[in-house]
Structure 1
Amino acid sequence: MELGLNADLSQYQSYAWLETVTTLNDPSGQWQPSGLDIAGEIKFFIDRELSDHGLYLSSSNPELAVSFQLGANMQALKLKNDPDSKLAVLTNVPDAALMVVLIDTATNNIIWISKAEAEIQQHDSKEIVLKRIDYTITEMFKALTRKSFF
């Protein structure tokens, strides 16, 4: 996991959601458990983190705009060493990436961006997927306690 750049949110009180982008290359339904709205769950966890940082959701004149992009590829391939032959073998290793962006609405400048990447498992339960998303977003937002380099 790569953690985001730091930002000082003390000058902001409100935020609104921008359109999010989700790219899920999972045609056989191997990753997203049935009945799970991953984009909705990500929004829920980001809302929680922003609230924990003293921000509230506002539909009129928000000071921050929030967006995220999720990409998952169940057909991703990587070279991995075969334990028997010790040779690099092309292997299916499903992966995902999540990027969260905070934008100052007065200046349209990005004030914070964070990215997390992980290998993902096929056929995980809804509970495991939610725990991994919760953990990832919690870790991403820990960087918001310090000043930004933007």
Structure 2
Amino acid sequence: MFKKHAFLIAILISFLSGCASAPVKDIQVNTHLYPKTNFMGYKTYSWLANASILNDPRGQWEPPGFDADAEIKHLMDRELRYRGMSESRTNPDLFAVFAAGVDMDALGLKVDKETQTEILSHMPQGGLLLALVDSQTGIIIWMGVATGEVQKDIDEGMVKARLEYAVKRMFKEMPK
């Protein structure tokens, strides 16, 4: 009986560790806070139009049927609600906005393993900008930026995990 449970536990642990192992080492996150911001005064937000800048002519970045914009909005909604804010269509305290950019033809420098020298190489890049704007003043009170290498031909689960990592890291830097 113990062997059966131990076997099932081992399978469960390997399954969970496999799900949590999205490659994220390449993702760089920076946040910026307007110096006079007091987040205690902000309770509601509304969405502004979002922007996507894609240079992905072969459709390699986004798996078929996956809506990255909807996923990013969902993640931001979750993080804002976690901080006690609620969405409001009338007189919101903040406007939430994001912009995503992908360039599948970007070039960058990589170290050649044989010669240990930098060489110009094909390195698809992506970026995500999240911003909160004070609705009364129009000042961007908080902004997060994540950049990283675009992983080619990955599945929906991996894209979701990488987006979740980036959004969580950005909001982790936001004062409560």
What's the TM-score, normalizing by structure 2?
A: 0.79
Query: What amino acid maps onto 2:69 in structure 1?
Result: A
The offset of 1:125, in angstroms, is 0.5
Aligned to 1:11: 41
1:136 aligns to 2:166 (yes or no): yes
Query: What amino acid maps onto 1:2 in structure 2?
Result: V
* Paired-residue identity, %: 36
- Bigger-Rg structure (1/2): 2
Give the one of 125, 135, 140 matched to 2:155.
Answer: 125
Alignment deviations for residues 87-116 of structure 1 (CA, whole Å, 9 cap, x no partner) = 332111111111111011111111111111
Secondary structure at the residue paired with 2:174?
A: helix
RMSD between aligned residues: 1.3
- Where does structure 1 differ by over 4 angstroms across 4 or more consecutive aligned residues? none
Secondary structure at the residue paired with 1:144?
A: coil
Alpha-carbon distance in 2 for matches of 1:114, 1:58: 22
Alpha-carbon distance in 2 for matches of 1:46, 1:111: 16
CA contact (8 A) 1:9 1:53 kept: no
Q: From the two aligned structures, give the one with the greater helix fraction.
A: 2
Alpha-carbon distance in 1 for matches of 2:85, 2:70: 19
Give the gaps of 5 or more residues in structure 1. Answer: none
Aligned to 2:114: 84
Aligned to 2:69: 39
Give the one of 96, 100, 110 matched to 1:66.
Answer: 96
CA contact (8 A) 1:101 1:113 kept: yes
Give the one of 17, 32, 48 matched to 2:78.
Answer: 48
Secondary structure at the residue paired with 2:131?
A: strand
Q: How many aligned residue pairs are there?
A: 146
Alpha-carbon distance in 2 for matches of 1:139, 1:52: 14
Higher relative contact order (CA 8 A, sep 6+): 1
CA contact (8 A) 1:20 1:69 kept: yes
Aligned to 1:145: 175
Alpha-carbon distance in 2 for matches of 1:4, 1:22: 20
The offset of 1:8, in angstroms, is 3.5
Give the gaps of 5 or more residues in structure 2. Answer: 1-27
CA contact (8 A) 1:9 1:144 kept: no
The offset of 1:68, in angstroms, is 0.8
CA contact (8 A) 2:110 2:120 kept: yes
